[in-house]
Amino acid sequence: MPNASARPKHGRRPRRRRRADPDPARNELVSSSLESAQQCLFSQDYGTAFVHYLLVLNLAPVFKDVARESFRFTLFKWAEELDSVGRIQDLFDCYEQALELFPADEVILNGMGEHLFRMGFRDEAAGHFHKALKLRPDYPEARENFYRVANWLVERWHFLMLNDRGRNRKYQQAIQKAVQNGCNTVLDIGTGTGILGMCAKKAGAAEVYACELSKTMYELACEVLAANGMDGSIKILHMKSLEMEVPKDIPHRVSLVVTETVDAGLFGEGIIESLIHAWHHLLLPPQRGENEFGEQSATGRVIPAGATVFGMAVESREIRRHHRLRVTEVGGLSLAAAGELHSPVSCSSEPDDSMEPYTTERLSRLPGGYKPLTEPFTVLNIDFNNVQELEGLSSREVQELLLPVTEEGVLDALAVWFQLHLDEESSLSTGPKEDTCWEQAIYPVHSPEGFALKPRDKLIVEVSCRDAFLRLCCVAVLRDGHKIHLDKRADSQRYENPVSNPSPEAELCSALACLQTDQSGTKSSCMLECSEMALLNNLNYHQCFSSAITKLISQLKLKNQTQDQGSAPQPDPAASAQCSGLFYVLDVSEGFSLLSLIAACQGHVKAYSSVEKTKQQEVLKRLAHSKGIAEQYLEFWLNRVEDEQGMLQRPAREKLWSAIILDCVETCGLIRQKLMEKASLARCLLEEGGRIFPEKIVVHGMLVESDTLLLESAVQGQEPTLGFNIAPFINQFTVPVHVFLDFSTLECRHLSQCVELFVLDLMDTNANYTNREVKVQATAAGRITAVPFWYQMFLDQEISVSTLDQNSHWKQAAAVLQQPLQVQAGEWVCLSVRVHKSTISISARVTEAPAALME
Ligand code: 44T
């Protein structure tokens, strides 16, 4: 392109050259603003400093380089302030202004990502970390953040699906057949990496369109299409299929829709709605035999052609402890006064954003296994090529199924899976017995007592399809001629005569009962996350904690007594408060926690809880009340402070904390971010003899060979997927640490004993090393593919809890090695373990035996 500036066009005013012809007024403004910015920064008036910097950098971009550091610093400080006073919109406006000035600044991008993440905008946050990392691949902050959120950007099942050759081949064959039979124009709904669209193109379809609603997946698909030379021949749109129109987005209706927008519960990705819309707006009419002239007109069809949904009642300890309260007393607290506590997974409630109709599990990997209580039964058959049937689904009457119980056991859940009929000949199954990557949908039963089914019982299950989710609910059991209602929630089971319908009087009574307005008569209910339910059910955890706090408080009492005896009465008010005999305990656990209350049970303790949700606070208050703990001994700490720093500040000027309880490990198995910073801060706020719980964390691990972990981490093998080049692109989203693992049921071979990988001392955070080499001996020959790890948390020197415990609410994590490492039995492996800002990374190499053993 010719240099336009070399040939100034006549008639236009030549551009002014800044340096040659300076604008004195403007320069004056810039320099005075710059000075003001610096002064404001010095006096910590970050808001004004930020405005001055914006003005300077917009007027005089030449200062961008020199002012970049101070500008970033100002932005972060100002954003922190805005955050602490809840001015979220202003906060994001500032970041946006900053990114307009520095669109490729990885530090600002990363900072914005962190705020987005804290506000719950995980996808957007992940996008920012990804961008930051692309700009500077060795930027550790962005790398750590990216690894923590990559799972949201590209969910791990994409790897599983692409590694599932059986599934890939079946889809490819079905598409190929359809195209060969005349389906010449194809739309791939929810294309993901673009694989099904590429199959259609390769099979010879004349026109292929694809849509994808996730921005990251859309961008990934664009890269994949280009790498496979199909970017010109497949038109891909970043949109939800429901927003597509003919001819705006695609020129005319297509003869084939291919899609795999199904989740473990079949309908969770909205396939019903998408197909109804597609049939009305994007697909040619369905085949209805020959037309009046005896010829076939162009018709439309869908792959998959339909599905059959199956269900089965199961007993499972693991499901039970995550959805129902199984204990009556924990850590010395009777839970009777708590009211009804339930998990967020329930199909019985009215549609509500906070409730989900089902959760998912791989039955074959449930710790403790599962026991089928009925034979698998058919829940539903659905034809995706019949739009009337699709439309009728949501208005369908609730259907009642009567299922013979085949085995004795506790009714914990209904498990659901399906067969996807790709066409008349070929189908895929997501069943628990299949060798597939699929999970099953789990509809937990809620009655807290647990209903024990017996072989001759009949289980009554209601099936409905409100709001396009399939809902299954165990409503009653028929036993010896009686109908026993299984109430969804806490109420006890009611018996009723099965032959007669309820009398009008009985109906009137129950209607009146529903109208009851007296609050004292209604039981309060509170929702807890599944992991919070499991935590509450963990007796050992609460017992350990209770013992440790009892020990600490009695030590402190003893110390105070001996001090009192040794000193004369003190006039100083601060010192007299110290002697008032109250111990201050702060629990900064995330989510619901009973620990503050357990501390308050010790007497002479003023406990501060960080439980935020009002309903959960009420549960704690009720429990405190029932235990005779006066109101002023339990406070909610977050009610008083805005920011994280404040949370750890002392309760009153004259008093320091006797104990601070830190929540160190996330349910997914990772150490919480900023744990060490919090611990150092907490330590400064302890009274003499006070403690942080836990005081020390020991990280344990083991060498394993696990192909399963590899399949979930990256697309494996050198061979292209169905002949397409996909792996290098999606594998950019591989993360080195796998989370939410159940180590007890992971398919793997153990190649070593458990070893101590690392110790984190929370009472002396400076004492922690960041790198450590650990030598481990292989106990068997094999390929080390991963190092699962977990934590033993020492509350004090004797008492510890492990995240590997079978009743733990924690899952485990595993470092997946970049390259598998082949070892022989007896060989030594050196693990380099690094902890950077609470992120653990591990690499491995074969090494010599430790010197001590060589002698
Ligand atoms: N996961 C299965 C569910 N989409 C698969 O954005 C099985 C889970 C699973 N795009 C373990 C194992 C497995 N218009 O990228 C997604 C999604 C996109 C749409 C445009 C629409 N109407 C939609 C609806 C969804 O489709 C892609 C695939 S959804 C498949 C879900 C391996 N855990």
CATH number of the domain to which 148 belongs: 1.25.40.10
Residue 94 has which token pair? 């500032």
676 falls within a domain: no
267 is a domain residue: yes
Residues flanking ligand 1, CB < 6 Å: 157, 160-161, 189-190, 192, 211-214, 217, 240-242, 260-261, 263-264, 269-270, 274, 437-439
- Inter-CA distances, 216 with 222, 425, 729, Å: 10, 34, 12
Under the banding of pLDDT at 50, 70 and 90, the label for residue 717 is: confident
Q: pLDDT at position 126, please?
A: 87
Angstrom distances, CA of residue 351 to CA of 38, 346, 357: 54, 10, 9
| CA 430 to ligand 1: nearest atom | 7
- Domains: count for the chain: 5
Question: Which of these three, 106, 123, 156, is where a domain ends?
Answer: 156
Residues 178 and 211 in one domain: yes
Give pLDDT tens digits for 41-92.
999 999 999 999 999 999 999 999 999 999 999 999 999 999 989 999 999 9
In a 10 Å sphere around its CB, with 0-12 CB exposed, 13-18 middle and 19+ buried, how is residue 685 labelled? middle
Q: How far, in Å, from the CA of 259 to the mean position of ligand 1?
A: 9
Q: Is residue 523 part of a domain?
A: no
Q: What is the mean pLDDT of residues 573-588?
A: 68
Residue 391 Cα, ligand 1 centroid: separation in angstroms?
21
pLDDT at 704 over 80: yes
Residue 6 has pLDDT above 80, yes or no: no
Please check whether residues 273 and 331 belong to one and the same domain: no
Statement to judge: residues 601 and 701 lie in one domain:
no
pTM for this predicted structure: 0.86
141-161 tens-digit pLDDT: 898 898 888 887 888 899 999
Q: Whose CA is nearest to atom 23 of ligand 1?
A: 190
Same domain, 258 and 150: no
pLDDT band of residue 249 (cuts 50, 70, 90) is very high
Atom of ligand 1 nearest to the CA of 167: 32
Do 782 and 801 belong together in one domain? Answer: yes
Looking at the fold, whether 190 and 259 belong to one and the same domain comes out as yes
Predicted confidence (pLDDT) at residue 720 exceeds the cutoff of 90: no
> Measured in angstroms, how far is the CA atom of residue 189 from the centroid of ligand 1?
10
Q: Are 128 and 113 in contact (CB under 8 A)?
A: yes
Residue 607 neighbours by CB under 8 Å, 6+ apart:
585, 586, 587, 596, 597, 599, 600, 633, 634, 635
Q: Whose C-alpha lies nearest to ligand 1, atom 2?
A: 263
First to last CA, the chain: 74
Neighbours of 714 (CB within 10 A): 20
Domain assignment of residue 113, yes or no: yes
Q: In angstroms, what is the span from residue 158 Cα to ligand 1's centroid?
A: 9
Last-in-domain residue among 105, 132, 156: 156
- Which residue lies with its CA nearest to atom 4 of ligand 1? 190
pLDDT at 506 > cutoff 60: no
- Which residue's alpha carbon is nearest to atom 26 within ligand 1? 190
CA 266 to centroid of ligand 1, rounded, Å: 10
146 plus 48 within the same structural domain: yes
Distance from residue 57's CA to the centre of ligand 1 (Å):
44
CATH number, residue 350: 2.70.160.11
Which residue has the least CA distance to atom 27 on ligand 1? 190
Q: Under 8 Å CB-to-CB from 111, ≥6 apart: which residues? A: 72, 75, 76, 79, 95
Rounded to an integer, the average pLDDT of 807-823 is: 96
Q: Region 845-855: what's the mean pLDDT? A: 81
Q: Which pLDDT score, from 0 to 100, does residue 640 have? A: 54
Q: Is residue 187 part of a domain?
A: yes
Is 5 a domain residue? no
Which pLDDT value is given to residue 580?
63
Q: Give the ligand 1 atom nearest the CA of 274.
A: 22
- pLDDT(567) > 80: no
| 190 C-alpha to ligand 1 centroid (Å) | 7
Mean pLDDT of the chain: 88
Model confidence over 166-196: pLDDT tens digits? 999 999 999 999 999 999 999 999 999 999 9
Domain hosting 496: range is 307-511
- Shared domain check, 152 and 247: no
Question: Rg of the chain over CA atoms, in angstroms?
Answer: 32
The answer on pLDDT for 14 being more than 70 is: no
Report the pLDDT averaged over residues 821-843.
94
- Give 566's pLDDT tier (boundaries 50, 70, 90): low
Lowest mean pLDDT, pick from 205-214, 334-343, 817-826: 334-343
| Statement to judge: residues 133 and 170 lie in one domain | no
- Mutation to probe ligand 1, out of 123, 157, 272, 712 (largest number of atoms < 8 A from CB): 157
Check which CATH number belongs to the domain holding 578 and give it. 3.40.50
What is the DSSP annotation of 768-830?
--SEEEEEEE-SS-EEEEEEEEEEEEESSSS-EEETTSTT-S--EEEEEEEEEEEE-TT-EEE
Same domain membership, residue 183 and residue 152? no
Each residue's pLDDT tens digit, 633-671: 999 986 554 445 555 555 655 568 999 999 999 999 999
How far, in Å, from the CA of 371 to the mean position of ligand 1? Answer: 30
Span 368-377, average pLDDT: 97
pLDDT at 214 over 70: yes
374 plus 493 within the same structural domain? yes
* Predicted pLDDT at 492: 38
Residue 95 has pLDDT above 90, yes or no: yes
The predicted structure's pLDDT at residue 647: 54
User: Per-residue confidence at 449, pLDDT binned at 50, 70, 90?
Assistant: confident
What pLDDT does residue 154 have?
A: 86
Q: Is residue 668 part of a domain?
A: no
Distance 783 CA to ligand 1 centre (A): 32
Q: For residue 155, what pLDDT is reported? A: 86
- Least Cα distance to 115 among 133, 105, 129, 131 occurs for 129
Give the separation between CA 56 and CA 311, rounded to whole angstroms.
66
Residue of minimum CA distance from atom 18 in ligand 1: 190
Which residues 6+ apart lie within 8 Å of 632 measured at CB?
606
Whole-number Cα distances in Å, 162 to 192, 243, 305, 715: 10, 27, 21, 6
Other Cβ atoms closer than 10 A to 222: 17
- The DSSP symbol for 227 reads H
Contact between 153 and 126 (Cβ < 8 Å): yes
Nearest residue (CA) to ligand 1, atom 30: 261
CA of 208 to the centre of ligand 1 (A): 19
- Are both 334 and 273 inside the same structural domain? no
pLDDT, average across residues 787-806: 97
Atom of ligand 1 nearest to the CA of 260: 30
Pocket test for ligand 1, best of 165, 193, 213 (most atoms within 8 A of CB): 213
The answer to the question of residue 376 being in a domain is: yes
